[in-house]
């Protein structure tokens, strides 16, 4: 009921902004009466559920590949090699009698990396026509450029102590010590729903499509401004803060772009604001790219936006990826910037946009965009390269050939784009068996690229690690370890790979990569439960965050949060130095690394949580929300504070000696850390 009330309040605010009286049909009584009679409906878009995601499912990626392939029966009659020399996997089986699309791919030209390239839009359109059904009533692109975003002052709490008005201009002095989003690669920022610069907290509103800016001081926070997403045609998803720039990411609204029609396509929006005066952000530019946001990275002054642009229905000459800038028309990408995976069976473009945030304006001259026909799943970014993965079955889907000789034929292609120039450039690729667990399964450092996968042989999961040089040429590998288990977490530190697999216990494997042509498992240790995130800790320890488990009549089941501290000082004999379990607890950190807060110098860690406790009297579950603050020092895990909050905590940040919990209903709660 609280959510409905928030939505009603939001609608009232919109009418008030436009000077219009709220119609009687939108009164609380009328809306609640309608809600009681409206059944819940499934989303019209493939792959979207009507409920909030509460955890990862390791079958999602393989099944996504199956679903994409099932939509169209596409036999691949030839596979163009992307590696010279030995490929890390056997050549895929030849397809049976091909379709028109298979014949087009087999006859197409390829570049030096094996990518299918097109000499004209006609060639690409012909391929799209062969894999996407035609729809006569296709909705065409509309102008996606939104008006300048409306910025509003925020009502400040009575007890607030932060700066407002003219005092909210950026201070030129050094900012207080503060947290940053926990990311995979040092120096590569990742978008999130909350950011802080040490003086202000920027966060995506929990319910009304705004970014709110709050000043923070001595554990108290005061909202001083907000930016409404609907005023720039955006459903806000997450954000970056870069100095005096606020970069807002979101999905284009239907009112600005017809992409929300189930038979049409979507678009994603980057809106940049000057926040020199935090109380009065000013929009400076906007960039729109076809597709829904898969991921993004901020590397120095360049924002990389990666979207998946699914083609629901075919209409001649209207199935190309495109871009748009504020107050400009929609433009198809040049045909020379579009290529195709050689085994592409998915009518989905992966679109990669590189936005120069140092430029005076966002335009064709300051944004470089590439597209690949064939959707992507995981994204990894280093200082010099961007890697995309796509899984596929290289077999004739008209027959029962998902398994050959007892082995699952699922493969993953990993594509490398070099980021050393102004424009992302394709720099090679490789094919590996199986699927990757998440972005942490990849690493690019010390001149090596590594990828860990899980595959299936004779109905049994098994795991692998592959190494490649800078040109994506295969080096060494470790095959078929931890049988009957699957990968849950990977971390690469210096010349070692640390891999967590799970079935009923949680083995940590340590693989020595010092000789990339002969990598070798040199140690392992087991513990109950399993970690889904591995974090380097001080003094040669590795912190694992994940799930505790218990055995019941149906088998192994998760039952709470588990922290594990691994001693990795002796790689040949790793040990579990300490562990803690919290029964009935859930935390977003179990499936989203950005929910982890690391204190200054790794002095402490904090995670948001909710605990479920069964109430015998009411036969329901009571919930407790909070922030768990703990240390990992001298081989011991210690709970520093267990902070209870009024509402569910979405993220937590620190500024100096204070911890701030960003909670539901846009509430910010502050606490002294010590």
pLDDT computed for residue 649 by the predictor: 96
In angstroms and rounded to an integer, the radius of gyration of the C-alpha atoms of the chain is: 26
pLDDT computed for residue 149 by the predictor: 58
**137 falls within a domain:** yes
**621 falls within a domain:** no
Instruction: Give how many domains the chain has, as a whole number.
Output: 1
pLDDT computed for residue 56 by the predictor: 33
pLDDT computed for residue 87 by the predictor: 43
pLDDT computed for residue 264 by the predictor: 67
Range of the domain at 232: 121-375
Selection from 605, 538, 596 nearest residue 567 by Cα: 538
Residue 398, CB-side half-sphere exposure with 13 Å CA sphere? 12
Could you tell me whether strands 425-433 and 411-418 are parallel, antiparallel, or unpaired per DSSP bridges?
Answer: antiparallel
pLDDT computed for residue 341 by the predictor: 87
Cα 71 to Cα 322: distance, rounded to the nearest angstrom: 24
Cα 203 to Cα 666: distance, rounded to the nearest angstrom: 9
Percent helix / strand / coil, the chain, rounded to 5: 15, 45, 40
pLDDT computed for residue 76 by the predictor: 30
The model's pTM: 0.82
Cα dihedral sign for 178, 183, 189, 192? negative
In the beta sheet, which residues pair with residue 667?
Answer: none
Of the chain, the end-to-end C-alpha distance in Å amounts to 37
Reduced to 3 states (helix: H, G, I; strand: E, B; else coil), residue 646 is coil
**278 falls within a domain:** yes
**Dihedral pair phi/psi, residue 232, rounded to 5°:** -120, 25
Cα 466 to Cα 452: distance, rounded to the nearest angstrom: 6
> Which residues of the chain fall short of a pLDDT of 50?
1-7, 10, 15-20, 25, 29-98, 135-146, 155-167, 258-263, 396-400
Cα 280 to Cα 477: distance, rounded to the nearest angstrom: 54
Selection from 304, 409, 396 nearest residue 350 by Cα: 304
Could you tell me whether strands 649-655 and 658-663 are parallel, antiparallel, or unpaired per DSSP bridges?
Answer: antiparallel
pLDDT computed for residue 558 by the predictor: 86
Reduced to 3 states (helix: H, G, I; strand: E, B; else coil), residue 553 is coil
Cα dihedral sign for 30, 35, 41, 46? positive
Asked whether the beta carbons of 422 and 370 are under 8 A apart, the reply is: no
pLDDT computed for residue 42 by the predictor: 33
Burial of 193 (0-12, 13-18, 19+ CB in 10 A): buried
Selection from 580, 520, 572, 571 nearest residue 544 by Cα: 580
**526 falls within a domain:** no
**486 falls within a domain:** no
Angle between helices 121-131 and 100-107 (to 10 degrees): 150
**285 falls within a domain:** yes
28's enclosing H/E stretch is: helix 28-37
pLDDT computed for residue 304 by the predictor: 97
Give the DSSP per-residue string, 218-284.
TTEEEEEEEEEGGGGTEEEEEEEEETTEEEEEEEEPTTT-GGGSTTS--EEEEEEEE-SBTTS-EEE
In the beta sheet, which residues pair with residue 640?
Answer: none
Cα 145 to Cα 20: distance, rounded to the nearest angstrom: 25
Asked whether the beta carbons of 376 and 399 are under 8 A apart, the reply is: no
**344 falls within a domain:** yes
**149 falls within a domain:** yes
């Amino acid at each position: 009921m609280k959510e409905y009330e928030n939505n009603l309040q939001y609608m009232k605010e919109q009418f008030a902004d436009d000077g219009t009286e709220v119609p009687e049909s939108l009164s609380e009584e009328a809306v609640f009466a309608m809600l009681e009679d409206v059944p819940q409906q499934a989303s019209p878009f493939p792959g979207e559920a009507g409920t909030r995601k509460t955890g990862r499912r390791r079958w999602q990626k393989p099944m996504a590949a199956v679903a994409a392939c099932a939509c169209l029966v596409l036999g691949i009659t030839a596979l163009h090699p992307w590696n010279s020399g030995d490929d890390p996997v056997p050549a895929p089986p030849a397809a049976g009698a091909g379709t028109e699309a298979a014949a087009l791919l087999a006859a197409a030209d390829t570049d030096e990396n094996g990518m299918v390239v097109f000499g004209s839009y006609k060639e690409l359109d012909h391929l799209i026509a062969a894999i996407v059904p035609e729809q006569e009533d296709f909705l065409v692109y509309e102008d996606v450029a939104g008006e300048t975003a409306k910025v509003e002052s925020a009502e400040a709490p009575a007890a607030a102590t932060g700066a407002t008005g003219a005092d909210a201009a950026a201070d030129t002095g050094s900012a207080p010590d503060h947290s940053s989003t926990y990311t995979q690669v040092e120096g590569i920022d990742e978008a999130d729903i909350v950011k802080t610069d040490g003086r202000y907290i920027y966060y995506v509103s929990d319910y009304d499509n705004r970014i709110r800016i709050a000043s923070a001081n001595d554990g108290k926070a005061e909202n001083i401004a907000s930016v409404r997403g609907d005023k720039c045609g955006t459903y806000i998803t997450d954000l970056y803060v870069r100095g005096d720039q606020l970069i807002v990411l979101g999905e284009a609204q239907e009112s600005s772009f017809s992409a929300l029609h189930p038979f049409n396509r979507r678009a994603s929006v980057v809106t940049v604001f000057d926040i020199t005066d935090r109380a009065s952000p000013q929009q400076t530019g906007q960039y729109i790219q076809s597709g829904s946001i898969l991921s993004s990275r901020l590397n120095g002054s360049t924002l990389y936006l990666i979207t998946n642009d699914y083609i629901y229905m075919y209409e001649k000459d209207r199935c190309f990826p495109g871009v748009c800038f504020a107050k400009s028309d929609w433009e198809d990408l040049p045909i020379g910037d579009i290529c195709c995976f050689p085994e592409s069976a998915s009518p989905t473009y992966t679109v990669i946009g590189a936005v120069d945030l140092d430029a005076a304006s966002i335009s064709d001259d300051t944004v470089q965009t590439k597209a690949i026909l064939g959707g992507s799943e995981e994204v990894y970014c280093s200082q010099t390269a961007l890697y995309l993965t796509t899984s596929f079955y290289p077999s004739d889907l008209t027959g029962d050939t998902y398994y050959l000789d007892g082995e699952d034929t699922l493969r993953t292609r990993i594509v490398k784009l070099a980021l050393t120039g102004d424009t992302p450039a394709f720099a090679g690729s490789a094919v590996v068996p199986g699927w990757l667990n998440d972005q942490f399964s990849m690493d690019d450092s010390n001149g090596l690229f590594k990828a860990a996968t899980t595959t299936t042989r004779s109905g049994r999961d098994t795991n692998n690690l592959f190494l490649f040089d800078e040109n994506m040429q295969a080096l060494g590998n470790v095959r078929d370890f931890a049988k009957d288990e699957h990968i849950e977490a990977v971390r690469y530190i210096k010349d070692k790979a640390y891999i967590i697999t799970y079935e009923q216990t949680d083995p940590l494997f340590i693989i020595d990569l010092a000789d990339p042509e002969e990598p070798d498992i040199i140690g392992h240790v087991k513990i109950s439960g399993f970690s889904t995130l591995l974090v380097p800790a001080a003094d040669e320890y590795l912190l694992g965050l994940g799930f505790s488990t218990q055995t019941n009549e149906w088998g192994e089941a998760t039952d709470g949060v588990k922290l594990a501290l691994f001693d990795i000082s002796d790689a040949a004999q790793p040990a579990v130095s300490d562990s803690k379990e919290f029964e009935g607890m859930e935390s977003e950190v179990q499936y989203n690394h950005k929910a982890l807060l690391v204190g200054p110098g790794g002095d402490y860690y904090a995670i948001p949580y909710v605990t479920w406790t069964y109430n015998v009297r009411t036969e329901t579950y009571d919930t407790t929300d909070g922030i768990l603050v703990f240390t990992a020092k001298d081989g011991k895990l210690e709970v520093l504070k267990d902070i209870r909050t009024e509402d569910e905590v979405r993220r937590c940040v620190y500024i100096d000696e204070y911890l701030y919990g960003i909670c539901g209903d846009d509430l910010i709660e502050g606490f002294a850390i010590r």
